[in-house]
Amino acid sequence: MGRLFGTDGVRGVANMELTPELALGLGRAAGCILGGLGHGVIVGRDTRRSGRMLESALAAGLCSVGMEVWLAGIIPTPGLAYLATLPEFVAGAVISASHNPAPDNGIKFFDGDGLKLADATEEEIERAMDGDGARLVSSAGSRASALPRPTEVGIGRVGDRRDLADVYVGRLLSYAPPLTGMRVVLDCANGATFRVAPKIFHASGAEVRVYFDAPDGTNINAGCGSTDPRALQRAVTEERAAVGFAFDGDGDRVVVVDETGAIVDGDALIGILALDMRRRGELAGDVVVGTVTTNGGLEATLAREGVRLERTPVGDKHVFDGIVRHGASLGGETSGHVIIRRLSTTGDGILTALRLLTVLRERNVALSELARTVEIWPQVLRNVPASRRQEWEQVPSFKIAVDEMRKRLGDSGSVIVRPSGTEPVLRIYVEARSSKVASSSADELARKAEELLR
């Protein structure tokens, strides 16, 4: 079996790549590794049509090895991660493909601390799945007993815990500032935030306008949400709102729009939160964790304030590992995936929005003015469909083109090339002090990739 787990769980086209049979086997193996007989696991999902099908298959697999399965229903991924930390559960699972289109779906697990699984644990689950009736092999390499098949009272049961969504809502409300008199626009991406986000902002006193909160199973992320915030930009200006927030399909990231309808760069968002936390004495070690694609302007802004930026590979799991490794309290990605370690174990779009609103309320300034305090260098991303994307470094002519571009940009820019962990594309990032240079350089490399990596 090839490696199932990618950078964010197991993902693929539902019922073709991510099949019910695969979900069943994944449930059996993960159930044994994460808890086993008699232990509880909480399972949530987003709004995709395939969600119930995969939820049923995953739950059957978990029950078949004796786990008690509790269904949280539709809930944002960070909400499920929090629920996994409750005493009655040893683990959690969420069925979602995040920002991907509706035909895709995914399954990712959290341990009892609300953390995504370590690579070693994912590998252990895959070994347990390797072949029908496979035997478990521990991380130490010793052979253990076969996957169990209990009968009668040993078989796990499935129960309904949709009420637990309110526990997550209550937790977020405890971090919300008073928002009376503030007009806020929400784009819920027809995804997992469509119920909880409006409830939280209404309860905080905001004057809320909500868009894309009518999921039908096929419209998640379709012309809306963090991947397409154009409708939100128009709505913010039409509604004369102070700010707009576009969530992705599972709610772990957010794209922010200021009062003029302009998108606030994700790295500017991180910078605003970082400098506010430093002012409060909450920025542990005066360090912020970003990724290899984090904007050089953010790094320069933080450095002027005595804050160090540490970079990791792309992926929220890597960002979290970096936060732990450097003893940091904040980290994030340009995409709007922000982790505030004291408050959450994963990125949470709603929580990030609430923290930003806290800064706006206390500073009493427009968001556009606040965003200008963080320097952002022009950065261009090109997503190139390329069948040989995983081996791009082994294609000499393309590798030479990338190296030459890096030399040409020198200290005035950077180039990052990496295959996507969630989509069949090669991502090419080019950053430069000039937007014209960044764009033309990215286009040049994209043409090379299309020609050489087909």
pLDDT of residue 400: 96
Residue 4 covered by a domain: no
pLDDT of residue 410: 87
How does strand 243-247 pair with strand 183-187? parallel
Say what the pTM is: 0.87
pLDDT of residue 296: 87
pLDDT of residue 411: 73
- Residue 289 pairs in a beta bridge with 310, 331
Indicate whether 186 pLDDT > 80.
Answer: yes
Domain range for 221 is 167-261
Q: What is the DSSP string of 248-291?
A: -TTSS-EEEE-TTSPEEPHHHHHHHHHHHHHHHT-SGGGEEEEE
Q: Tally Cβ neighbours within 10 Å of residue 341.
A: 16
DSSP state of 177: P
Residue 5 covered by a domain: no
Residue 354 covered by a domain: no
pLDDT of residue 311: 95
Domain C-terminal end among 211, 233, 261 = 261
Closest CA to 63 of 83, 39, 86: 39
Section 200-215 average pLDDT: 98
Q: Give the tens place of pLDDT for each residue, 389-438.
A: 888 999 999 999 999 999 999 877 889 998 987 788 999 999 998 899 99
Question: Is residue 29 domain-shared with residue 78, that is, in the same domain?
Answer: yes
Q: Give the tens place of pLDDT for each residue, 75-112.
A: 999 999 999 999 999 999 999 999 999 999 999 999 99
Residue 404 covered by a domain: yes
Q: Any idea which of 240-254, 287-301, 409-423 has the lowest mean pLDDT? A: 409-423
Six token digits for residue 346? 């994963």
Section 436-449 average pLDDT: 95
Question: Is residue 143 domain-shared with residue 79, that is, in the same domain?
Answer: yes
- Residue 92 pairs in a beta bridge with 42, 110
Question: Is residue 21 domain-shared with residue 160, that is, in the same domain?
Answer: yes
Q: Is 137 exposed, middle or buried (0-12, 13-18, 19+ CB in 10 A)?
A: middle
Catalytic residue numbers read 98
Q: Any idea which of 1-10, 61-70, 180-189, 269-278 has the lowest mean pLDDT? A: 1-10
Question: Is residue 24 domain-shared with residue 159, that is, in the same domain?
Answer: yes
Question: Is residue 142 domain-shared with residue 27, that is, in the same domain?
Answer: yes
pLDDT of residue 379: 86
CA gap 231, 254 in Å, rounded: 15
**Quick check: 74 and 195 in contact, CB under 8 A?**
yes
Question: Is residue 66 domain-shared with residue 158, that is, in the same domain?
Answer: yes
Q: Is 327 exposed, middle or buried (0-12, 13-18, 19+ CB in 10 A)?
A: exposed
Longest dimension (CA), the chain: 69
Indicate whether 51 pLDDT > 90.
Answer: yes
Indicate whether 140 pLDDT > 60.
Answer: no
CA gap 447, 454 in Å, rounded: 11
pLDDT of residue 423: 80
pLDDT of residue 37: 83
Domain tally, the chain: 4
CA gap 366, 347 in Å, rounded: 25
CATH number at residue 414: 3.30.310.50
Indicate whether 146 pLDDT > 80.
Answer: no
Indicate whether 322 pLDDT > 90.
Answer: yes
Question: Is residue 219 domain-shared with residue 80, that is, in the same domain?
Answer: no
Question: Is residue 413 domain-shared with residue 391, that is, in the same domain?
Answer: yes
Question: Is residue 14 domain-shared with residue 154, that is, in the same domain?
Answer: yes
pLDDT of residue 131: 52
Residue 358 covered by a domain: no
